[in-house]
Chains A and B, each alone.
Chain A
Amino acid sequence: MPRDVTKGDLPALILAVLAESACHGYGIARRIEQQSAQTLQMKEGSLYPALRILEQDGLIAGEWEVQPSGPARKVYRITADGLVQLKEKQAEWEQYARTMSALLGRKTNAQPA
């Protein structure tokens, strides 16, 4: 079932994509789409404010690079601080997912009254 990516989750997704390899805005959007098997949907324009905030916080670094084919593009890379932040986000998310599945699992196993 397709789900919209919330503004709050987008920075963590961007960091996760960039932890694999450097990428430009269009590439980041495509990788989120592919890796979520098109389950996660977002307005692609919302990538840019999120990228700007991550850049200002020093979690990613962007640089204009000449491409082998086509015009120069701004390519983003994750920084050491970004990797630390990503690990924190992953831990937070795992904790949240564990709690939710524990709660939901309990509800589905319960017998109706």
Chain B
Amino acid sequence: MHSRLEQYLQTVEQNLRSLPAEERHNELNEIRLHMESLVEANRELGSTEEEAVTQTLAQFGRAQHIGKDLSSAHQWGGKPQFGTLAGAIAFNYFVGAVASLLVSRFFLLAYTPSGVPTVFWLVRGLLTTFCVGCLTGAVLPRHAVKGTLCAHLMGASVSALASLLLPLPAMSPISAVSFWGSILLSTLIGTSLAMFGAKLGAQWRSTRVKKMRIAG
């Protein structure tokens, strides 16, 4: 294959790293065959090899855009199927709530909270969030990432509403900024970690299903 076409496919591949190896290989193979046919057709119309490759690359569009669009088509899918999406939201929301309660209870029994550094509680919370994300991905791979994001947005909205309704102790502007800033930051990190977990869980499930199909 022509080196410029190979280079093009490598750029597409760089954006498909999140896909399982077999899916990535199939995507690239399909595009490769299409490009080879296009080069052949352009040559039949009288172009030289180099001209045909240049025309093909122009007809195909930017490799980076195609790679990104393909990756997001795999990650986010098409229109949401509301049953599956609602299932993923509910699963993430309720399993997350139960897991947080269980983990808090376990750690409260195992340790005395006084003297335990705040970072420890933060890491514990983030780890729980990540694990629940992985579980959501493994159980409901379709729309797991979207469902996890929605569940976290819902959770954050409920918490924000509760914070606004409940009387907070008087704070100086600096304390208020640091209070709300830390909540916003931990929510952002937690949501990102949970979505990453959901993606990993869904990938694991998809690889497992494929292996079972091949074995079967």
Contacts and interface: CB of A to CB of B under 8 A. Distances in A.
A48 B24 CA distance: 13
Contacts of B63: 45
A52 B78 CA distance: 8
B28 to A, nearest CB: 10
Contacts, number: 63
B99 interface: no
Interface string A28-59: 01000000000000011110111011101100
Contact of B31 (A43, A45, A54, A71): A45
Contacts of A73: 30, 33
B26 interface: yes
A72 B47 CA distance: 26
A36 to B, nearest CB: 15
Contact of A26 (B38, B61, B65, B72): B38
A87 interface: no
A44 B79 CA distance: 22
B77 interface: yes
A9 to B, nearest CB: 15
Prevailing SS type, chain B contact patch: helix
Given A56-B78, A57-B78, A48 B61 contact: no
Nearest to B80: A57
A11 to B, nearest CB: 9
A46 B73 contact: no
A56 B69 contact: no
Contacts of B33: 24-26, 71, 73
Contacts of A64: 26
Contacts of B62: 43, 45
A46 B66 contact: yes
A99 B145 CA distance: 40
Contacts of A25: 30-31, 33-34
Contacts of B37: 26
A46 B78 contact: no
A49 to B, nearest CB: 4
B60 A45 contact: yes
Contact of B38 (A44, A46, A57, A74): A44
Interface in B10-69: 26-27, 30-31, 33-34, 37-38, 59-63, 65-66, 69
Contacts of B72: 49
Contact of B78 (A24, A45, A54): A54
Q: Interface centre among B31, B33, B74, by most A CB within 10 Å?
A: B33
Interface of A: 24-26, 29, 43-46, 48-50, 52-54, 56-57, 64, 71, 73-74
Given A26-B33, A45-B61, A45-B63, 11 more contacts: A43-B60, A43-B61, A44-B34, A45-B62, A46-B65, A46-B69, A48-B70, A49-B72, A53-B73, A71-B33, A73-B30
